[in-house]
Amino acid sequence: MAKKTYRGSCHCGRVRFEADIDLSAGTSKCNCTSCWKRRWWSATIKPEDFRALGGEQELSKHRPGQDTGHGGFCEHCGVIPYGWVDAAEWNDGASVSINVAALDDLDPADLVAAPVRYCDGRADNWWNPPAETRHL
Ligand SMILES: [Zn+2]
């Protein structure tokens, strides 16, 4: 499967974006307390594959002066549509973590077919899956 262009939004529709995602390259779920509480299921893409289409200023972590919001939740509906990641230890520069549940034109079959990489973030063991993943 190659990259496909998806349209995404928060629940109220104020925050909108477009993302080129190759779901066959994998998605992520993690058991750390942050991902767990958000039920975060993500696909990570390069910044050049992400286009904010509007409403970034509604995001709680919006940084004024930047044309792309830096994530956070929509201050109107609470949904986290995406988040920017600048983790230096990932060595490949900035990336954008897309909430796959925020993709409006995603065919569920694409998600069913997408591999899931599990991270044991709760044990600070980010590069390996936890022993149990069924609840994530
Ligand atoms: Zn919203």
Phi/psi-derived region of residue 71, left when phi > 0, alpha when psi is between -120 and 50, beta in every other case: left
Ligand 1 mean position, distance from CA 59 (Å): 8
Dihedral sign from CA coordinates of 53, 105, 119, 72 = positive
User: What tens digit of pLDDT does each residue of 6-58 get?
Assistant: 999 999 999 999 999 999 999 999 999 989 999 999 999 999 999 999 999 99
Closest CA relative to residue 11, chosen from 111, 70, 80: 80
**Pairwise CA distance, residues 92 & 38, whole Å:** 25
Ligand 1 mean position, distance from CA 75 (Å): 7
Which residue type does 106 have? L
User: What tens digit of pLDDT does each residue of 26-36 get?
Assistant: 999 999 998 99
**Pairwise CA distance, residues 123 & 44, whole Å:** 21
Ligand 1 mean position, distance from CA 54 (Å): 11
User: What tens digit of pLDDT does each residue of 79-127 get?
Assistant: 999 998 876 555 567 889 999 999 999 999 999 999 999 999 999 998 8
Dihedral sign from CA coordinates of 125, 72, 76, 19 = negative
Ligand 1 mean position, distance from CA 86 (Å): 24
